[in-house]
Amino acid sequence: MQKQIVIALYNENIEWINKLNNFDIYIYHKNKGIPKEIEKLVNSNKIYYEEIPNVGRESHTYIYHIIKNYKNLPNKIFFTQAEPFDHIDKYNEKASVDFFINKLNDFFDNDFDFKGYGKKHYIWKTGIGNKTETMQKLYSNLINGELQDHYFNNGGIFGVKKEIILNRSLNFYNECLKYLDYDKNPVEGFCFERLWSIIFNKNYNTKI
């Protein structure tokens, strides 16, 4: 099975990817210059590496990858921030690289359509503060029906099947990108973190 992992990198230490075996690694770097810890991997073409504009948080990175590879996606993809260890599920401890790799394998070894791996399982309103109105507007622009209380896993770390991604049109993802590419830290970036479990759910219909 092809195991693809997409990593949103800014200036985090990414040395941990050297422990990933048998993964197709895609790194999108929102800074300049190849990090020294992965220079050999990049130069030997063992990973895909691209520098992209620093906009839209990790949500922009994920959608950018989907758009760019829409017609050539593998059966499963795992999306993560470059520093996932304090976000994934290990109670109050910072997770180790091996613990994170076990989570990767959990997704690829099982038949999940979509699975979030943030350690906290919140109702979407938690931690969003004065961004509630933006969240409601974004939802109404993209998804049919009214925004109801739903849960999400924090951190923007999740796996999803190709067939679930393709349940949305390319036009839909292009529209999503417009909400993220205007600023390096847009409010909508926090909103998409709370919408992945809906976007990648066949029970919800989109307006595009």
Q: What's the average model confidence in pLDDT over 137-165?
A: 95
The torsion of the CA quartet 161, 166, 167, 173, rounded to 10 degrees, works out to 110
Q: H or E element: which one contains 24?
A: strand 24-29
What is residue 100's predicted lDDT score, i.e. its pLDDT?
93
- Answer for the pair 193, 154: CB distance below 8 angstroms, yes or no: yes
Identity of the amino acid at 94: K
What is residue 51's predicted lDDT score, i.e. its pLDDT?
98
Look at residues 170, 167, 159, 158 and name the one whose alpha carbon lies nearest to residue 69: 170
What is residue 119's predicted lDDT score, i.e. its pLDDT?
81
Mean pLDDT of the chain: 93
CB atoms within 10 A of CB 207: 11
Q: Are strands 114-116 and 121-123 parallel, antiparallel or unpaired?
A: unpaired
| 3-class DSSP assignment, residue 77 | strand
Give the separation between CA 64 and CA 150, rounded to whole angstroms: 25
Which of 29-33, 62-66, 90-94 shows the lowest mean pLDDT across its residues? 90-94
Going from the C-alpha of 83 to that of each of 35, 117, 130, 163, 199, the distances in angstroms are: 14, 13, 26, 27, 24
Look at residues 122, 192, 112 and name the one whose alpha carbon lies nearest to residue 159: 112
Identity of the amino acid at 56: G
**What helix, strand, coil percent values describe the chain, rounded to 5?**
35, 20, 45
Q: What's the average model confidence in pLDDT over 147-152?
A: 91
Q: What's the average model confidence in pLDDT over 88-102?
A: 80
Residue 92 has pLDDT above 70, yes or no: no
- Answer for the pair 17, 97: CB distance below 8 angstroms, yes or no: no
For residue 143, give the DSSP letter: B
Residue 120 has pLDDT above 80, yes or no: no
pLDDT tens, residue by residue, 167-202: 999 999 999 999 999 999 999 999 999 999 999 999
Which CATH fold topology does 4-199 show? Spore Coat Polysaccharide Biosynthesis Protein SpsA; Chain A (3.90.550)
